[in-house]
Structure 1
Amino acid sequence: MVKILNTTQIKEWDAFTIENDPILSIDLMEKACRAFVQWFIAHFDQLQKVGIVCGSGNNGGDGLGIARLLNDWGYNVKVWVVKGNVPESLDFKQNLNRLEEKPVEITSKPGKGIFDSCEVLIDGIFGSGLSRPPEGIYAEVIHEMNETTATRVAIDIPSGLFADKHTANTCVHADFTVSFQIPKLAFLFPENERHVGKWQVVDIGLSKSYLKEVTAQNFLVEKKWIAKQLPKRKQFSHKGDFGKALLIAGGLGKMGACVLAAKAALKSGVGLLTLHVPKCGYQIVQTSVPEAMASIDEHDACFTSLPYVDGFTAVGVGPGIGQHKKTLKALEDLLNISKIPMVIDADGINLLAANNSLLHLLKENCILTPHPGELHRLIGDWSDDFHRLEMAKTFSAKTKCILVIKGAHTSVVAPDGRVFFNSTGNPGMATGGSGDVLTGIITALLAQGIDPLDAAILGVFVHGYAGDLAAWETGPISLTASDIHNSLPEAFKQLFR
């Protein structure tokens, strides 16, 4: 897990590294500059005209150091320094003195098209310590930077973007952001995509001991953590050792949701799978998913009656079940009776949102997997993505449920306030049935006895990883939910070899 720290912690981390490595501040800045330059030379060649716009604080000092190093690499670099009301830092002054050619100073409103000669424009005005919106000359320079057709690259964080709260002010619209050591929380929210662009983390050598000891509430899930979570299969294992899952899914015209979830569950290692479906779905599931057993509802078209739930080790409910009043009653009965780990998705969530008197029936660590529309129905309006996360954390704490908020960097919200952001997946997965596949994966992992929070985190990561493998073959435009579950075997093979 990568800890995502707030700006105060990042500042403390810098100071701790300087004091305990020990290393001079200017030398730590030089390491950051070299890490940025190594990334840069891998993406841009020396034939491109490079501009660097610097402030007068440490982010500007980074920009000056990068300018010097790029000059050494043979790049044609022009540097501007914005001279506003921010005092020059000591490291800025030192890197300024190291430059052979002095930068152009911007002391008043910049002329229109000032950066038009650049093919690549590097942003080094403000860093992550920004505490107030850019104003005056800074805002005017940022506006001109955004007007250029050059590729914009931000050093550590786009100038004007707040790392830990909503940004409503002028901000650089970067095409790429090269973040030092760890990503910033703001990078993981949809509202900031146009500011951050594609982001990449580079190692600048900050203290590992500080990171090990510091407490964090937000995490980015990485591959090496995932590989430790799936139990190894013993030589003399049998199907009963890998859980018995019940999937309550499908309805008239929506049996595809059941089939997708079922196939995903089977390919995620569950030992035995039973599908509870309406009468209209019997032949479909028996033909499409012969490995699963079928339990038939009393109703022809929707979920209205409970199967016998004793003996199952996990249940998933919701995909394609509809919102009939008899379905609502059956869901209420399930929540009253069942004490086993549960995943609720799709129409299951919609029924809870429309009948919030049922929320008190949710058992501790029940997993809910809403997409943004379902989440809105469940928790209400939010003003921005930071507010949405806080509302989700409040809901999770109140209900003691685990929320899986689907989307780019899907977030898994734990009842204790921790949030785990996913690092796999791609835009091609924004397709019908993708969420049904996720429900099947998580249900199967739960059935195998994996802790609910770990099952949610693991399921989300594997789902995204399979989607990435599928997109490699099909491209994002043609990707379907079936492609995702068909890629699960290779995903598990690669992750848990």
Structure 2
Amino acid sequence: MLWPALFFDRKKQTHKGDYGHVLIVAGSRSYTGAALLCSGAAMRSGAGYVTLAFPESLQGVIACGVREVVTLPLRSTAQQSVSERALPQLVPVLKKSDCLLVGCGMSRHPSTQALIRSLVRRASTPVVVDADGLNAMAGHLGILRGLKHPVVLTPHPGEMERLCGRRIVAAPAARKEVAKDFSLRYNVTLILKGPRSVVCSSRGRLYENTTGNPGLATAGSGDVLSGIVAAFLGQGMEPFEAACRAVYIHGLAADLAAKEKTQPGMIASDVIDYLPKAFKRCR
């Protein structure tokens, strides 16, 4: 453990605005679940207010799966992904948000990828980039160097290889070296996912996670993690602290879920369901 107490009780005199407004831009025709998972995880991780922005053509599907979040249907491409024409819809909300999460299930459509890069540039608050957001940044990493706001990237090994343009050796020491080199070069906080996920700060500080199990090797578990990271950033945590706490609590929730569901029987939404028990363990 990095901290004597991972989470604390809320003050009695408080309101939802004290716990951050997270803007999530996610989803496409084939990946509506990604939008639901990351937004649900953000709410379960203490975010006071979540706006979920998604392709307008998917409004019926998303509305049936989300109760607590505010929805923002966006202009879509013909392939039902978010179009770069949606930028004017997003800018006013982006200015009011405390954190932006972008990329989960958004597709590799050229217009969508261009929108992702525009959002990363325009943000003034912390940004979490996951999944297709990482694909959008591959080949455009120079964008990251000039940013004044914190950025957290959450690649799995395959996404990391696309970002780096080379093969990543699975050995723990090699993973740490790659994470540190990338974080320092591009001034980002990096979560390199996998068994014992590695977190590296923009100044080279390293953390190797100790929670989690092979049950996390299932579709959507990364979306859940990115939602947790975004919630913590929105509540004012520093990027490295938010990333470390997120991978720890994500893994702990998975460990608790596996005890009842078994590792093969786990799905990503189980991790969300067990987040309250994981938080309770860390008080």
TM over 0.5: yes
Written as runs of structure 1 = structure 2, the 5 A alignment for 1:168-207 is: none
* Aligned residue number for residue 370 of structure 1: 155
User: Are positions 1:256 and 2:67 aligned together?
Assistant: no
Deviates more, 1:478-487 or 1:362-371: 362-371
What is the CA–CA distance in structure 2 between the aligned matches of 1:465 and 1:443, rounded to whole Å? Answer: 18
Letter paired with 2:105: G
User: Is the 1:251–1:322 contact (alpha carbons within 8 Å) kept by the matching residues of 2?
Assistant: yes
Aligned partner letter, 1:336:
R
Give the equivalent residue in structure 2 for 1:473. Answer: 260
Structure 1 residue 339 and structure 2 residue 124: aligned?
yes
The offset of 1:391, in angstroms, is 2.5
Aligned ranges 1:119-130 → 2 under 5 Å: none
Q: In the TM superposition, what are the counterparts of 1:178-327 in structure 2 within 5 Å?
A: 222=1, 225-226=2-3, 228-299=5-76, 301-304=80-83, 305-306=86-87, 307=90, 308=92, 309-327=94-112
2:20–2:97 Cα contact (<8 Å) kept: yes
Q: CA deviation at 1:336?
A: 2.1
Partner of 1:360: 145
Identify which of 189, 193, 217 aligns with 1:430.
Answer: 217
- Structure 1 pair 479–362 and aligned structure 2 pair: CA distance change class (3 A): farther
SS at 2:244 equivalent: helix
- How far does residue 451 in structure 1 lie from its aligned partner after superposition? 1.2
What is the identity, as a one-letter code, of the residue corresponding to 1:473? Answer: E
Q: Quick check: 304-313 or 467-476, which moved more? A: 304-313
> Alpha-carbon deviation of 1:393?
1.1
Residue in 2 that maps onto 1:34: none
- Letter of the 2:34 counterpart: A
Conserved in 2, the CA contact under 8 Å of 1:362 and 1:401?
Answer: no
- CA-atom RMSD in angstroms: 1.6
Distance in 2 of aligned mates of 1:240 and 1:483: 28
Give the stretch that moved more between structures: 330-339 or 462-471. 330-339
Task: Determine if contact 2:100/2:126 at 8 Å carries over to the other structure.
Answer: yes
The correspondence for 1:411, drawn from 198, 219, 225, is 198
Task: Show CA shifts across 1:14-68 (max 9, x none).
Answer: xxxxxxxxxxxxxxxxxxxxxxxxxxxxxxxxxxxxxxxxxxxxxxxxxxxxxxx
Q: 1:487 to 1:325 in 2, by over 3 A?
A: same
DSSP-derived class of the 1:404 partner: strand
Structure 1: any 5+ residue segments left out of the alignment?
Answer: 1-221
For these two proteins, the number of residue pairs brought into alignment is: 273
Contact 1:248 1:317 in 2 (8 A): yes
Matches of 2:174 and 2:104, distance apart in 1: 28
Higher helix share: 2
CA contact (8 A) 1:286 1:292 kept: no
Does residue 456 of structure 1 match 2:243? yes
CA 1:450 to 1:272, structure 2 compared with 1: closer, same or farther past 3 Å?
same
Query: Displacement, 1:354?
Result: 3.8
Query: Relative to 1, partners in 2 of residues 1:469 and 1:481: Cα closer, same or farther, differing over 3 Å?
Result: same
Post-superposition offset of 1:286: 1.9
Contact 2:101–2:127 (CA under 8 A) maintained in structure 1: yes
Structure 2 runs not aligned, ≥5 long? none
Alpha-carbon distance in 1 for matches of 2:147, 2:222: 21
Cα distance in 2 for partners of 1:328, 1:447 equals 24
Residue identity in the other structure for 2:52: L
What TM-score do the two structures reach when normalised by structure 1?
0.53
Shift in Å at residue 381 of structure 1? 2.5
Distance 2:67 2:266 in 1: 25
TM-score normalised according to structure 2 size? 0.92
The 1:437–1:383 alpha-carbon spacing in structure 2 relative to 1, beyond 3 Å, is closer
